[in-house]
Structure 1
Amino acid sequence: MLILIPHRAAETLRGAGPWGRLTLRIDRPEGRAVVAGISQRGNGIIPVDPDLRSRLLSSCDTTPTGYWYRASAELHAIWIELRKRCNTATALDIFKAHVPSGFKAPGAEGYLALTHAPGMQDAFPEHHLPDLLAWHITPTQAVPLAVSAEPATTGIQQLDGHWPTQRLQQTRVMLIGTGSIGSATAHALAGYGVGHLTLVDPDRLDWHNLVRHTSARQHIGRLKVDALAEELAALRPDTVTAPLALNVITDADRIRALLTDTDLAVCTADGVAARRVTGHLARRAGLTAVLACVLNDGAIGEIMRLRPRPGHGCLTCRRQHLIEAGGIDPEPALDAGYGTGTPHRPMTAVGPDLHLVAHLAAKTAVASILERAGHPDQRLPGEHALIALRRQPDWAPPFDLARTTELRWLPASPPQNGCPTCETP
């Protein structure tokens, strides 16, 4: 049995008297229980549950099933040694000797007990022993149980000092397109600690999306942005999401206004027009845009960073530069549905391949934000990344990736003369 102690329960125990009663919700098939209520001595039980949305084992009944005790630090040292010996037990008299008051004799089946040893850090400073532990008390012995107490700090703040969490929590990113690549990009951006995500997509989740999307079957028929926002709220509560059922092309005027309160734009939407409009709007707003897609029916992943700098051309300029250099323009194929074209090639990209592209896009976005904020260790090797999901040695350079997972970075190419995006209006 694993005993789970939510933060509010842990703080209540640490501030309570010498002993009291416990109520727990117990999931016996899964072998876990969570502390739901605590009393001071024999007084009434005080609920210590978090809010309903984050309540553990909420489907299990609350059961008055044990006691908690103030205990000596030595008893917790005994617990550690017993767990090292594959959960051997200690005699009940030894357990009782380390509990100064309130001990309750067990019945035939025994009961669950928690012990709080407030002097742990002073008594054993070098061992970092926990101050809250769990036991199964029987008529003859005390058996140590696995226990997990929720720390005061959870979520992205746990990485303070090792990752620029404060900077990223203040960052606002707009994600345009929440399909297979976009949904995984959103999860990755939230995992990096981006504090605010504006999710833009007019589409609903359909049956055929499930094979590659991060959202589950229960969300079929819902707007993708709403399903994704709900998932992120549960998994990454440090990230605030704003779901908007907008089309970046037909609602460009509304997107333009929103970009004034945005630090960076990411586009994972299908089609040439959506990518070009995103790049144009971002350039006009003075923002970096990161575009992510797959080419050749999912054989190559592409991430392109468009920065509003002199010498950095937009998407159209970069494609034209490829053509002038003797390469190919893969952009028109993006307007065709997966598995269409001449000759016909089925869409063979699987979800994890698309999610690999998504994670690289999220890393590119976060690295761009952090480099601009003064973190030189986040500098990227180029502005245009190609990754082989299936090798394509017969494609024209720079798409001639000879080995699967080969990653190629290219520099930015300059604006074309007369470009309506790159030239100052």
Structure 2
Amino acid sequence: MIDLRLLREDPDRVRASQRARGEDVALVDALLSADELRRSSGVRFDELRAEQKQLGKLIPKATPEERAELLKKAEQLKTDVKAADAAQDEADAEAKRLLLQLGNLVHEDVPVGGEEDFVVLETHGTIRDFGAEGFEPKDHLELGEALGAIDMERGAKVSGSRFYYLTGVGALLELALVNAAIAQATEAGFIPMLTPALVRPRAMEGTGFLGQAAENVYHLEKDDYYLVGTSEVPLAAYHMDEIVEADKLPLRYAGFSPCFRREAGTYGKDTRGIFRVHQFDKVEMFSYVDPADAEAEHRRLLEWEKQWLTALELPFQVIDVATGDLGASASRKFDCEAWIPTQGKYRELTSASNCDSFQARRLSVRMREGKKVQPLATLNGTLCAVPRTIVALLENHQLPDGSVRVPEVLRPYLGGREVLEPVAK
């Protein structure tokens, strides 16, 4: 959530942010009114409590005649205090409800617009000219089935559409990717983490996934648990309700977890293969930093993602995501999009988001420097979303006979294999 003091001091900035996101600007004025009512209710309650305490001191000293009148007044004050307390609680709840609906303040440099209004910042690698090499590229599913690596048919039989099996060399390729990604993250100073896939509502709400993103979250109603769509959620909640000493920052974690997404609103989109699925594994980087270092850390996360994709020998571009596609928690987001030959375009593989103190305020994660205690900043960056990375690897590194060249960074984790060979049917 944003700082209410900033809302009071500069509401126009918050309105501009909401407008840029394509969100309801009227929410800002509703929150301002609710905040004013919350504060006035608190003042009213404090005044009545002070009067009640003062009256309590007078009663023992009063004459019998005065005492009767004071007791009558005390009884009325008791009722008024109870009502004021209830009004204060109600006003607090309403202000919090509205505050939780408000997205993070958009960074001033973010391009304004929707999903297609991003700005390309960098382009890396060379796109292969398959025509010059004399063959038509196959898509990842055709390649994966020939390699004995992907089984969509049985995934659908067992679990339904958008589920799959990684088999044989496909399973080994996932393990190689995860191990190589964790190795890079560990070398960069991240602490490896295996995180819970089920979280309580506060963790999901605190990271901002129960607002506009709620339709894509799986909820286990009987137990009131949520399945995470990213290990960002348990990593953000790891230090929930804690105060971290400033000299311990930055804290960096690399979480590996299964991820679950309903993919609501994507009917008919990316239905072939494993590009858009309901369950997948992912290595996620997560940083807790001093707010003053948040923008620099954001750039560092992006550099680690670029290092990873370069090691995988994938052509990719870096984009500055537009305001309408940021998600509630991020003030700015950079995506790395890899070239997918059979689609003839770049597709998202990794994201790096700066959430400033938005999540930390919601989860009560603070830093202490001397006597000063304040919310810290959180950032997250995908290092390896496994299925999409496999899609990019198979298509970009395929050879004319249907085999696939293995990038050098993965070879130590695949028993030294340089090529993945099709299997006999």
Say whether the fold is shared (TM-score over 0.5): no
- Quick one: higher RCO (CA 8 Å, sep 6+), 1 or 2? 2
Larger Rg: 1
TM-score category (smaller protein): under 0.3
TM-score (norm 1): 0.21
Task: Report which of the two has the higher share of helix.
Answer: 2
